[in-house]
């Protein structure tokens, strides 16, 4: 049985991803800080094993990967958007916590999971990115910075993984209605009230990003390793342009 590890798998997007993989016959291990929520997911059949721990704790992440066993798939989903408002009015430690959870959480998960995958010559890793990583949004700089860094981290790691049989992706769920988006900090939503309203096409269902993860997990998108994929990405066109290094990569505007 194939094994997947989903961080932040107890609720929201993480749980939707875990449930979809479980239905596909994967053995799914989920992690998160709330043991009760994780146990509920297991009891509901959305995962097979729950391991409580902090995504930014090196020992906890190392232990989770060890307990999960040989991994075929890693989904680094744990995230935080807790600080809103202008940078100079934000608490520096709280601002940094957003970066730490969203970036160090991914970095540690990759660091712990990739050696085994590389040694076996197969595996896929996915980091949950965000459109905030490549568009500017006022009053949420910590979150935006962290997601831009995640996209670049995945792109860099994918280059390092060339020839190993392991692929890496960052994916964006679009504007999904989850516990995290419902709890966007007031400093952000006050400045961006539109984010409280459904987008023109309606809220993106968590199942949409789960479906994208399923396609990656099945190996259908391996040619797009290193790319940032949004749930609205035209995957057929992206696959057709897979040989173009400037397609689907994060680029910062220049002169």
Q: What is the CATH number of the domain that holds 11?
A: 3.40.50.720
Residue 72 placed within a domain: yes
Residue 85 has pLDDT above 70, yes or no: yes
Structure tokens at 229: 């994929």
**Is 19 in contact with 210 (CB distance < 8 Å)?**
yes
Percent of the chain with pLDDT over 70: 92
Q: How many domains does the chain have?
A: 1
> Which has the minimum average pLDDT: 18-27, 130-139, 165-174?
130-139
Segment 88-97 shows an average pLDDT of 96
Would you name the residues annotated as active-site residues? 143
Segment 104-132 shows an average pLDDT of 96
Structure tokens at 251: 């680029």
Q: pLDDT of 146-156, one tens digit each? A: 999 999 999 99
CA distance 62 to 222: 26
> Which has the minimum average pLDDT: 59-63, 128-132, 154-158?
128-132
Quote the pLDDT of residue 253: 45
Alpha helices in the chain (DSSP H): 12-23, 35-43, 58-68, 92-99, 105-120, 141-160, 179-182, 186-189, 206-217, 235-240
CA distance 41 to 48: 9
Q: What is the mean pLDDT of the chain?
A: 91
Quote the pLDDT of residue 254: 39
Q: Which domain covers residue 158, as residue numbers? A: 3-240
Percent of the chain with pLDDT over 90: 76
Residue 134 placed within a domain: yes
Residue 247 placed within a domain: no
Residue 118 placed within a domain: yes
Please compute Rg for the chain using Cα positions: 17
Residue 255 placed within a domain: no
Quote the pLDDT of residue 248: 56
DSSP summary character for residue 103: I
**Is 73 in contact with 26 (CB distance < 8 Å)?**
yes
Residue 255 has pLDDT above 50, yes or no: no
Residue 252 placed within a domain: no
| pTM score of the predicted model | 0.92
Residue 249 placed within a domain: no
Quote the pLDDT of residue 251: 53
Structure tokens at 124: 């896929």
Tell me the sheet residues that pair with 176: 204
Pick from 23-27, 81-85, 132-136 the range whose average pLDDT is largest: 23-27
Residue 135 placed within a domain: yes
Structure tokens at 225: 């390793």
């Amino acid at each position: 049985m194939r094994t997947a590890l989903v961080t932040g798998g107890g609720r929201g997007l993480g749980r939707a991803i875990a449930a979809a993989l479980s239905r596909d016959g994967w053995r799914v291990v989920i992690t998160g800080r709330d043991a009760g929520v994780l146990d509920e997911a297991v009891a509901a059949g959305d995962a097979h094993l729950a391991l409580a721990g902090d995504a930014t704790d090196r020992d906890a992440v190392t232990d989770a990967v060890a307990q999960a066993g040989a991994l075929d798939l890693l989904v680094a989903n744990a995230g935080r958007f807790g600080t809103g408002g202008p940078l100079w009015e934000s608490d520096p430690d709280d601002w940094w916590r957003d970066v730490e959870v969203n970036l160090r959480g991914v970095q540690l998960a990759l660091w712990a999971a990739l050696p085994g995958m590389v040694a076996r010559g197969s595996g896929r890793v996915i980091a949950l990115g965000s459109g905030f990583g490549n568009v500017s949004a006022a009053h949420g700089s910590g979150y935006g910075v962290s997601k831009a860094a995640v996209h670049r981290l995945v792109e860099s790691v994918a280059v390092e993984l060339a020839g190993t049989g392991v692929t890496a992706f960052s994916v964006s769920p679009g504007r999904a209605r989850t516990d995290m988006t419902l709890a966007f900090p007031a400093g952000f939503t006050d400045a961006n009230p539109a984010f409280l309203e459904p987008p023109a096409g309606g809220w993106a269902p968590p199942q949409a990003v789960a479906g994208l993860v399923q396609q990656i997990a099945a190996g259908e998108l391996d040619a797009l390793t290193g790319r940032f994929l949004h749930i609205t990405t035209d995957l057929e066109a992206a696959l057709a342009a897979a040989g173009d290094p400037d397609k689907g990569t994060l680029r910062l505007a220049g002169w």
